[in-house]
Amino acid sequence: MGAGQDAWDRRRLRRFAHYAAGQGWRPEDITSDHMLRYFSVLKHEAINGYEWEAYGRVCKTWNRLVDTVPGWPGKAVTVVRKRTPYMVKLEDLAQGLRAELVGYLDFLAGDGAADHGDGPLFLKDMPRKALSPVTVKLRQTQMLQYISALVAKGYPLDSLATVDAITSTRAISDAFDFFVERAGGKVPTQVQFIAIAMRGLLYHRLTGGLRRRVRHDRDSPPPSLVTDARLDLLEQIIKQSAPTERGLRAKNKRCLAQFDHRNLGKLLHLPATLLKEAKTTGGKDGARLAEAALAIEMLLMCPIRVGNLVSLDLVRHFIKSSPGPKGTIHLSIPKDEVKNRRAIEFELPPHLARMLDRHVRDFRPLVPGCGSTWLFPSTDGGPRSYKLMSRHIAGIIRTRAGLIMTSHQFRHLAGKMFLEDTPAGHETVREVLGHASIDTTTENYTGIDQVKAGRTYDRSVLKLRDQTKFITSKRRKK
């Protein structure tokens, strides 16, 4: 076990060890029941609502040490989940249904030429517009969630043999009832996106992928090539499950509320602190700290999506104006690699360009997979998993700065920071974040404008109070 991993494990078990010692528990006596008693303490004392995550990290860390540390004084414990897992795997599905799903996913990935019906011949060999690999993977997960819901509602897995079998009106109703029941009677956000995924699958099944491009009102669904009660039901579910509140979600508002002047300073100076520690730590553990420092600084200066961050290629995405330290570096990501199909272009500020050069020269050769051209390589030579990178960044920020923040929330923080400094800078924020419409920017950051306006109003009230305090004091004397 490396020094860095050992430090992480000590940090994760520190609070549990302190509690266990206070209860007189010995390491060799720890069982699943002890962990649940510790969880009950977390549940009553935690103030951030992350007691399940903290409990799970302690149990998983404990079990890993049982497996990897010779002579560890304890046995593995059972991790109780917040909710019972219900997902089935793609390979568990009936052969016919699995083939239809795989065919649809290949269609989304852009395999083969598009079918343009009776269009001109030159269109016949043109490739279809493909979704990104991340989006295709997400569609697969959403369809498997839907099928898993049917199994959880009592449908035998072998009876779900075709797309038609899983999309009867009764099956659609039962599946989405499951999600609402699982969420305690509330309509979870996932309902809308799963319904969109199933609508696409059913539409592909009915039309073979042929789509008619017709202009339509943005507030109404596009005209369909087919009429089907199942599509109508899915459209109704999508419409009714759409969030009524526009702008940032509650969790993102809670995240931004953390960033007073002091906490913002902690985050802004965190990359320099990590880089300094990386130099003294050295080796692979130091290189991982340097990776986190570079990733956080890039998200601060170039707030791109984490999927694009982990897919950065040193050859394809970085363009240097000239060799040597005086050359500027441009980050350029083509539109077909971006979620909303808008190309990303940034000129790296000089300090970030130097930080990138130093990382590639000094730290990156120390991590496994450095023989590839990915900026953040994985051990198998491919790019780092965006989930692993997200967890790594969130863990660093939580332990070093005491802040609860995901990688994606850097984009929201970017809007907050700039608009608080430049209240009329919505167009700049739109360009930086790559929003297709200014409406998206204004809807997301209206709350920030309100906070700014509230501060201005409060200052005016306090100013008037200060100006009138002598008047009230004179009246009291009389």
The string of pLDDT tens digits covering residues 270-304 is 999 999 999 998 888 899 999 999 999 999 999 99
* Cα distance between residue 457 and residue 110, in whole Å: 54
Per-residue confidence (pLDDT) for residue 49, from 0 to 100: 58
* Element housing 428 (H / E): helix 426-433
Looking at the fold, whether 227 and 281 belong to one and the same domain comes out as: no
Looking at the fold, whether 137 and 283 belong to one and the same domain comes out as: no
Per-residue confidence (pLDDT) for residue 216, from 0 to 100: 43
The string of pLDDT tens digits covering residues 3-49 is 445 666 777 788 888 889 889 999 888 999 998 888 888 877 654 55
Looking at the fold, whether 274 and 340 belong to one and the same domain comes out as: yes
Mean pLDDT of 183-205: 91
Beta-strand ranges (E) seen in 103-244 are none
Looking at the fold, whether 272 and 420 belong to one and the same domain comes out as: yes
Looking at the fold, whether 206 and 134 belong to one and the same domain comes out as: yes
428 in any annotated domain: yes
Looking at the fold, whether 271 and 410 belong to one and the same domain comes out as: yes
The reply to whether the predicted model has a pTM over 0.85 is: no
Mean pLDDT of 114-119: 54
Looking at the fold, whether 207 and 290 belong to one and the same domain comes out as: no
Q: Using CB atoms within 10 A of its CB, is residue 284 exposed (0-12), middle (13-18) or buried (19+)?
A: middle
Looking at the fold, whether 64 and 170 belong to one and the same domain comes out as: no
Looking at the fold, whether 166 and 257 belong to one and the same domain comes out as: no
* Tally of structural domains, the chain: 4
Looking at the fold, whether 464 and 329 belong to one and the same domain comes out as: no
The string of DSSP letters for 33-101 reads HHHHHHHHHHHHH-SSS-HHHHHHHHHHHHHHHHHHSTT-SS---PPPPSS---PPPGGGS-HHHHHHH
Looking at the fold, whether 282 and 418 belong to one and the same domain comes out as: yes
pLDDT above 50 for 1: no
Backbone angles phi, psi at 329, to 5 degrees: -115, 130
The string of pLDDT tens digits covering residues 68-95 is 888 888 889 988 877 667 788 999 999 9
Which stretch of 45-49, 206-210, 353-357 has the lowest confidence by average pLDDT? 45-49
Looking at the fold, whether 439 and 459 belong to one and the same domain comes out as: no
Q: Which residues contact 79 (CB under 8 A, 6 or more apart)?
A: 56, 59, 60, 63
pLDDT above 90 for 164: yes
Per-residue confidence (pLDDT) for residue 127, from 0 to 100: 58
288 in any annotated domain: yes
Per-residue confidence (pLDDT) for residue 111, from 0 to 100: 67
Nearest CA among 127, 83, 82 for reference residue 109: 127
Per-residue confidence (pLDDT) for residue 351, from 0 to 100: 92
Angle between helix 283-301 and 386-401 (nearest 10): 90
Domain that residue 44 falls in: 3-68
78 in any annotated domain: no
112 in any annotated domain: yes
Per-residue confidence (pLDDT) for residue 50, from 0 to 100: 67
CA-to-CA separations, 220 to 190, 203, 239, in angstroms, rounded? 21, 17, 10
The string of pLDDT tens digits covering residues 222-268 is 555 567 899 999 999 999 988 766 677 788 888 988 998 899 999 99
* Cα distance between residue 139 and residue 103, in whole Å: 13
**pLDDT confidence band for 269 (50 / 70 / 90):** very high
**pLDDT confidence band for 452 (50 / 70 / 90):** low
* Cα distance between residue 429 and residue 418, in whole Å: 7
